[in-house]
Amino acid sequence: MKAGFVGLPGSGKSTLFRAVTGSDGTGDPFRTVEVPDQRIDQLAGIYNPKKSTYAKFECHDLAGIGVDDRQEGRLFGAMRQLEALALVVRCFESDAYPYDRPEIDVAKDMEDLVSAFQVADFMMVENRIDKLEKQVLKPTKTQDQDKKELAVLTKLKGVLEGGSSIDDVALNDAEEELIRGFGFLTQKPKLVVLDLPDEGADEAALRALVPDGIDHVLAIRGSIEAEIASLDPADALEFMADYGIERPARDRLVAELYGLLGLHSFLTAGEDECRAWTIPQGASAHESAGTIHSDIQRGFIRAEVIPFVDLVAAGGFKDAKAAGHMRLEGKEYRVADGEVINFRFSV
């Protein structure tokens, strides 16, 4: 999973990046972040494995939109490679970080971000249409496919010209497949992160300013959370208690991203390794096997499945199996969140 913080200059996105990744602000503007999962900790307590491996996601801190017009093509290109965008909206006052408006304006900032995405998508669509209009006149092997792509892009161009976004358009599966490689920004899954001041914010009022259609909204006190992320675990817990923070920014962001993208995890456990594997919700046992190794998917026989709570209560896979908690499932079984699985396979 790849996600990035996106925002206008001075929005606080780099502070939030530090809060989530624990970065000190130096080095590359991306980090690989472990997805917190207490289930792995519990399994490790049972198996005492050689290693514990958490699911991971790649977090990016992207340049501010509008900082340098000459670099915006590169910026939008980087955004197109991500699976989700976290739109950071400034909700704090600070003399140290100048703000372009006389006062904080969540709605206008959101409008500017969406408008920038629409313009970027429009330019990409227009450039591709110009190329295809010439290409479809030639009797090539791809002529029929090019005509279909041109028809879809022409429809999208009209939508973008009208001030709407591509995710407002109802596309069939074939049309979706034709445009999948573009990575259109107005089609990306998005969540909004309200970067709050240290104190005094009316969170409910700020949330109400987020446009309709965005269901995933986080409110984070960025500067406080960045400081927490820089502390050792014991001091961080004390600091969180002082500020009434139940879950750190990283945990909350990950939960929202998993919900936004429709992801969850299954688990594997043993003396060598206890590990979480991220899969789409609704993934089959056969597809899930492939996340471990293509050989396991190719030689899939059955999945031995035990619910996490039953395995922990029994004290391990073997005892849970003896107690009758294990099920044998076939290729089409839909894997549920937190199930502990051992795949039988032959290659």
| Residue-wise pLDDT tens digits, 180-218 | 999 999 999 999 999 999 988 888 899 888 887 788 999
Q: Closest Cα partner for 243 from 46, 64, 19? A: 19
Q: What predicted TM-score, i.e. pTM, was given to this entire model?
A: 0.88
Whether pLDDT at 279 is above 90? yes
The Cα-based distances of 285 to 218, 276, 318, 336 in angstroms read 32, 15, 20, 10
Predicted pLDDT at 138: 87
Q: Where are the beta strands (DSSP E) in the chain?
A: 2-7, 30-34, 51-53, 56-61, 84-90, 190-195, 217-220, 263-268, 273-280, 300-306, 327-329, 340-345
Predicted pLDDT at 265: 97
Evaluate whether 53 touches 35 at the Cβ level (below 8 Å). no
Question: Cα–chain-centroid distance for residue 151?
Answer: 31
Predicted pLDDT at 171: 92
Distance CA 247, CA 32 (A): 20
| Residue-wise pLDDT tens digits, 163-186 | 999 999 999 999 999 999 999 999
- Tell me 24's DSSP state: -
| Residue-wise pLDDT tens digits, 46-94 | 999 999 999 999 999 999 998 777 788 899 999 999 999 999 999 998 8
Whether pLDDT at 282 is above 80? yes
Question: Percentage of residues in the chain with pLDDT exceeding 90?
Answer: 80
| Residue-wise pLDDT tens digits, 243-262 | 899 999 999 999 999 999 99
Predicted pLDDT at 113: 93
| Residue-wise pLDDT tens digits, 97-147 | 777 777 888 889 999 999 999 999 999 999 999 999 999 998 899 999 999
Predicted pLDDT at 229: 93
Predicted pLDDT at 98: 73
Domains and CATH numbers, the chain: 282-345 (3.10.20.30)
Distance CA 162, CA 306 (A): 52
Handedness of CA 291, 21, 90, 217 (dihedral sign): positive
Per-residue pLDDT, averaged over 10-35, amounts to: 90
Is residue 327 helix, strand or coil? strand
Whether pLDDT at 3 is above 90? yes
